[in-house]
Chains A and B, each alone.
Chain A
Amino acid sequence: MMRFLLLFSRQGKLRLQKWFTPMTEREKKKITRDMTTMVLSRQPRSCNFLHWKDLKIIYKRYASLYFCLAIDNQENELIALEVIQRYVELLDKYFGNVCELDIIFNFEKAYFILDEFLIGGEIQETSKQMVNRSIEASDMLQETMEEYMSKPAF
């Protein structure tokens, strides 16, 4: 099971945070601080896996943005790396050539995409097409509410 996903910039600015298990604000802040210092101090070309307490931290850098995913100890590290990759692909597909700014200015969209992809710390939908279809279906509500209501989008 995944525990949390953090997106932060090279300066350590938090861009997105998703906690899959209940945590207090203080814990969240402490973890965020720990993660940014730990991940940002890593040398390039070193291993993408870290230990933190009893969790495994999988991180990957895309341009200026770091994706940092915490998983339980018995989980598979490599597949977690692919979870990050798939999320980036989903963002890319939605925003079209995604960059950090897309996520900064449309972070709620990034959350919606994440919620269609992961739920409660588990993979919900692995198909790129499916995730995008459901996001777009919800997005369309804005323009064509009436039209949409008459025929369900799924």
Chain B
Amino acid sequence: MSDVVEKTLTALPSLLSLDSQPGSTKLSSTSKLGTLIRGITELTSKHEEEKLIQRELVSIKEQVSSPNTSMRQMKELMVRAIYCEMLGYEASFSYIHAIKLAQQGTALEKRVGYLAVSLFLNESHELLLLLVNTVLKDLQSTNLIEVCMALTVVSQMFPKDMIPAILPLVEEKLNHPKEIIRRKAVLALYKFYLIAPNQVQHIHNKFRKALCDKDPGVMTASLHIYLQMIEENPEGYKDLAASFVTILKQVVGGKLPMDFNYHSVPAPWLQIQLLRILSLLGKNDPSTSEIMYEVLDESLRRAEINHNITYAILYECVKCIYTIDPKSDLLEKAAKCIGNFVLSPKINLKYLGLKALTYVVQQDPKLALQHQMTIIECLDHPDLIIKRETLEILFRITNAQNVTVIVDKMLEFLRINKDDYTTIDLVGKVAELAEKYAPDNEWFIETMSTVFSVGGDLMQPDIPNSFLKLLSEGFDSVEEDRKLRLFAVDSYVSLLQGEPGKLPQRFLQVISWVLGEYSFLREELEAATVLRLLAKLLDMKNTSSETKSWVLMAMTKLCERGAGVSVAQEVSETYSSSLDTVLRQRAQELQHLSRHSELRARVLPRDAGLEPLEVDSSLSFLDGFVSEALAAGAAPYKPPHQRQEELAQAKALSLEPYGLSLPISMSSCSIADRQSPTLLSISSGLSGESPDLSHKGGSSTLKLDGVKRLWGREGYLAQREPVEESARVEVPSPLRSPSQQGEADSSHSQTPIPTPEPEQEKQQLASSLFVGLSSQSSVCLMGKSEPTPQRFRRKAKSPGSSSSASEKTSNSLVSTPSTVDNLMCNNLLDSNITSELVVSSLEQTSQLSQGLAAANGTCDAELTDSDVKGSSPSLCGDNAVAAADPAPHEDPCKDLLLTSHLPAELSGLSHSEITPLCSNQSLDLSASHVQKEDSLVLVVFIYNSSDSDIQQILLELDSEEIEVSCVCDSAVQEASSHSVAVCQYSLTVKTPSVHVEVVGTVSYQFPAGTPQSLQFSYKLPLTCFIRPLTVSTEEYGTMWLDFSHDTKQNLTLISDGQEPLAATLNVLKKKLQLHVVEIIGMEGIVACRLLQDQPCLMHCRLNAGTLAVWLRSPVPALPDCLMYHCQRALQEH
């Protein structure tokens, strides 16, 4: 510190005296700012500084508010105020004066005024509104400097709501003769596009004009907007690809004025911007990629000067080449380029090389193999940043064989890492790998224990959640489940016997849950022992009350006999008077349940984690209470956002046709960066976890989702394959002999030559790290469909407890392709094998299905039949019904037969699949529903399969949610032998729910026999009752305000081809029969009604890559149910 101060002080006189320096402004020794700064430099303590600044602020305040202060003085005062703010002292009194200075000063003073405003205020500051007029005036000024200043401040910050006021003026500036004005205007529009995209929607053609501007600077500025727009919707700008390529060609060819060179590289910023745009446009698009190859090649070739800036361009180029549709010779060059980065002695380049490797390693595992020694070196690099990036590569090449080594390395890093954000990220990745590739139970539990202790209370809550879920749901083998749980119990008991005080709260919660649930598995372990261990946790002073309630719940499960009860009683007595209401509640539960063992057994049955819970999300059991309260004069409940809205409406005029814009973050829009793959797999309903999905959540650095496995069938690897392959077959471990390695790395001069001791260690590490990469591909060649068996494969969730044959079949049909998917990524499979594998596994799939079908005694054709039906979108809800039914296999010809029995007036309309309801030796009941425009008709087919006629068939239908009325004249039917009787019912929804169910009884009697009856149930999705509602936008607006029940959620967007919003709404329209009222820019309004005429309105808005949906209706529960169906419809798409 002192030497710098000294230097500063000695430098001062000379600095102050120099006036003649070019460009340097005079700094008079009497300048107030100079005095202030020098004053501060001389001080020794923070306290003195504070006193000095406070004095200074008082004096500034006095002067700015004095009417005699000239604008010139004001300018000087503002500079001082800025300085004080930079030191961290608030000078908010000067804000208004800064605005005044911008308003009233002459150009030079104005400049300081604008600067002060841009430093003091931010977009949302209310004082900013006062600036609007000044900006308006300056935009119209004839003085170019003033126009420039106004545009500068506008593109830094401007109140969103006031954009319309100045937009025409800014637009006008796009035609200004001076390029600097045009450029600033474009940048201002870019800013507007970022903060309020719909405000500038109508001037997209002006953006095009800016793109074609004769000045390269203006064109460059317009690329910011294009990059943004193309990122959001690459499909919309494919036509521009050729233009971008031409521009890049010109830039690379040095056609721009010298002014744009940077260290003799032509316009590097522009080049990088263009490369980023091209990679967006070329992604998954062979024909667009085709036109880029030449210029990319040229870029790689031209970038030869050894300067940072050329490396920056090269890096972007490599990324582009690996993102767009692959071309073998380009890939080869790019791979060589990555090699140059990785092997560079410059640490920044090495870092980028590692990043590039991370990016490409899934497509090109060979690169990781090629650089394995560098990767090993980087793993022990003293710079944590390099280490961290190396782990990222390893994370992506993890497989069942190297998982232990890689996870070890990650945990090692976690122990020395201090940055919370990294910890959170890495802990998630370890948990993901552990769950996916765990070699055995012990390792899994131990690794997770380390994760819990290291990740502590920082980690995402879904890690412990999904761990517990995994434990409770179990896997394919009951015995394995038992062993895993038992091991968990053992290891946690020993942890608690050690020093539980050191364990993080989350871990303690996990421990208590596991012990509460599974400690009975260890028979020699007495419940009382566990209870005492748990009770010890309660006594520790740093145990949080949340943990305490977990502990109490665990104790409640354990206190069944003898000694345990007394411990429980003691504990519950202590806590039943706790101030924390939750704790008190738990303690009371413990107290009561420990006394009454029969009650306890009923409330908390042992090992009942799998029992499905019925959750009444509409809280209907509280209806009575609510109506009582209402009757007693209570105000009806309004959800918080509605209350807020009303408040806002009361305060200010709402300019939008209805309501406020949606809040950006909602619970469903990525609760966290990290989503566990299992969570995803559950939501998508598939059993296999595709790595594409899992990386989506896990990676914070590179977005690889959606990146096609470009590594095409004729990729360059194919040509080199024979050599490599033979090497691999001979030496299955990647520990290759130096000569072979040299061969592989022939392009790089720095082949590490093995030196005796430490080198050997590294080689060993390498062989353990990269083990899966080379040997696996040969395994795959042999055609095994699953070389990396996933240990913890979740059970497929079945809707009901019954597991019918057809369900298994359909599950395997779904899961087999996804396993294939899995393989292709996990193994980092070589290109030439991919196709074979796909073919072979497809064959397997069909064999499998044939096998299963044969085992079920059904024919092939029928299987495909049901398969097709399953995939048809209109039947989305019915699948579950069919699967839950005991005997869903229906003879197709009988199906046809029944169809022909549909009443004539219904035969033209689309009807659902005919679902069997119930049957016995004499009767076969099936049903189907037909959607009419104004009603829903349920048709029940009664097929008499016996040889005698049946009379007096009485069909009674009932439902809680639906009103059922009989359409046919009499409910009593008769059916002669081997014929079909048909009943029709019209259904209307009473109370909406996601699925509605009709329960029915059929009673009948043979001429000579006793009366018999059969029971059945039929489930329909709510969507059958939804019809489009045609309204105009105005009507919609008024209706919107009237409705009181609503719900909001973020849904996934569908972006195939056209506009994502339009595409998504189209899917919803098609699947759910909604009416799209209007699409206005990024927002869409949709209306529908629930039969007969209960409206429901939907407002959606594009929001950060998701669709923010807001549903409103006068009917309670309807928005929630519809939201569910929207979500499903989009998921299934």
| A contacts, CB < 8 Å to B | 9-11, 14-17, 19-20, 22-25, 29, 43, 45-54, 64, 73-74, 76-79, 81-82, 85-86, 93-96, 99-102, 104-109, 111-112, 115, 119-120, 122-127, 129-130, 132, 134, 136-139, 141-142, 145, 149, 152-154
Contact = CB atoms under 8 A, between A and B. Distances in A.
Contact of B21 (A77, A95, A111): A95
A124 B83 contact: no
Nearest to B259: A127
Contacts of B529: none
Q: Chain B interface secondary structure, helix, strand, loop or mixed? A: helix
B268 A22 contact: no
A95 B15 CA distance: 11
Contacts of B269: 79, 123, 126
Given A14-B86, A105-B33, A107-B83, A51 B388 contact: yes
Interface string B259-287: 11010000111101000000000000000
A112 B12 contact: no
A130 B261 CA distance: 12
A79 B268 contact: yes
Interface in B295-321: 308-309, 311-312, 315-316
A78 B348 contact: yes
B111 to A, nearest CB: 6
Interface in B83-109: 83, 86-88, 90, 106-108
Q: How large is the interface on B (under 10, 10 to 19, 20 to 34, 35 or more residues)?
A: 35 or more
23 contacts: A24-B122, A46-B382, A47-B348, A47-B386, A50-B385, A54-B700, A77-B351, A77-B352, A78-B311, A78-B352, A105-B37, A107-B83, A107-B86, A108-B82, A119-B155, A120-B190, A122-B224, A123-B269, A126-B260, A126-B262, A138-B111, A142-B108, A152-B144
B347 interface: yes
A53 B419 CA distance: 9
Given A95-B24, A106-B27, A108-B112, A11 B4 contact: yes
B22 A96 contact: yes
A76 B316 contact: yes
Contacts of A137: 145
A95 to B, nearest CB: 5
B44 interface: no
Contact of B385 (A49, A96, A138): A49
B703 A112 contact: no
B155 A101 contact: no
Given A99-B11, A154-B180, A122 B119 contact: no
Contacts of B259: 127, 129-130
B351 A49 contact: yes
B319 to A, nearest CB: 9
Interface of B: 1, 4, 8, 11-12, 15, 21-25, 27, 33-34, 37, 79, 82-83, 86-88, 90, 106-108, 111-112, 115, 118-119, 122-124, 143-145, 148, 152, 155-157, 178, 180, 183-184, 187, 190-191, 194, 217, 220-221, 224, 259-260, 262, 267-270, 272, 308-309, 311-312, 315-316, 347-348, 350-352, 382-383, 385-386, 388, 419, 421-422, 673, 700-701, 703
Contacts of B118: 115
A46 B347 contact: yes
A123 B260 CA distance: 13
B420 to A, nearest CB: 9
B46 to A, nearest CB: 11
B108 A81 contact: no
A77 B351 CA distance: 10
Contacts of B107: 138, 141, 145
Contact of B178 (A64, A77, A96, A154): A154
A37 to B, nearest CB: 11
Given A74-B703, A101-B8, A112 B157 contact: no
Nearest to B16: A105
A101 B382 contact: no
A42 B45 CA distance: 26
Contacts of A45: 347
Contacts of B422: 51
B156 A120 contact: yes
A125 B187 CA distance: 11
A20 B108 CA distance: 23
A124 B297 CA distance: 28
Contacts of A139: 23, 25
Nearest to B90: A25
Contacts of B419: 51
Contacts of A76: 272, 312, 315-316
A51 B37 contact: no
A112 B111 contact: yes
Most buried by B among A77, A78, A93, A115: A78
Contacts of A107: 82-83, 86
A105 B156 contact: no
Nearest to B24: A95
B4 A9 contact: yes
A108 B519 CA distance: 69
Contact of A105 (B15, B87, B224, B315): B15
A106 B703 CA distance: 42
B144 A153 contact: yes
